[in-house]
Amino acid sequence: MRDTITAVLFDMDGVVLDTEKLYTRFWQEAANLLGYPMTKGQALGMRSLNRGAGLAQMQSYFGPDTDYDKIRGKRMELMDAFVEKEGVELKPGVHELLSCLKEKGIKTAIATSSPLERTVLYLTSVGLQDSFDELVSGYMVEKGKPEPDIFLYAAKKLGVKPEHCMVLEDSPAGILAAHRAGCKPVLIPDQDEPDCETLSLLFAKVDRLDKVKEIIG
């Protein structure tokens, strides 16, 4: 496997950083504050979606007149205030995996739906700002997850063919994007377990980041 994997592309929220739970919490809180009775399950359905997909998802919950931008703005306000006070945490196994990949000469990139400024801020707060060869944001490409653009762009930035890239993701939208890009999707479940459709797209599934070392060999 080591001979065919020359790059690993990391989603950030829910994979490198334990922040996906915050998105779930504050999507729900923001929606409820604005009069939309969002459940936790519905908030989980918002993971890693680009604006178009997020808008469609929100409208499927609450109807065509749903004010997605207002809910998203409130979610950002609540989450930013929380993070400023409490900070962000790393997911288990991050340092072990990054050390292993560096030793093997495997390139790395962050490929996240978050804005670049937020990505740099969060990674800097945990000392990982210089730990990846490239930082790629969904705002750098035409279409975000679940479309493949972000992973194709990250592979291009690293000078690696998509089929030689392993993608580490926690969300169905991210796994679908990786599959569409022709990469090898590896799921590390964060807040729930995958459905059958997501399972059918996987190259592998592990329960924490350092277990990825066993797949690479």
Question: What is the C-alpha to C-alpha distance for residues 152 and 216, in angstroms, rounded to an integer?
Answer: 21
The amino acid present at 161, given as its one-letter code, is K
Question: What is the C-alpha to C-alpha distance for residues 84 and 166, in angstroms, rounded to an integer?
Answer: 32
Question: What is the C-alpha to C-alpha distance for residues 30 and 66, in angstroms, rounded to an integer?
Answer: 13
Catalytic option among 3, 11, 13, 170: 11
Is-catalytic flag, 11? yes
Catalytic residues: 11
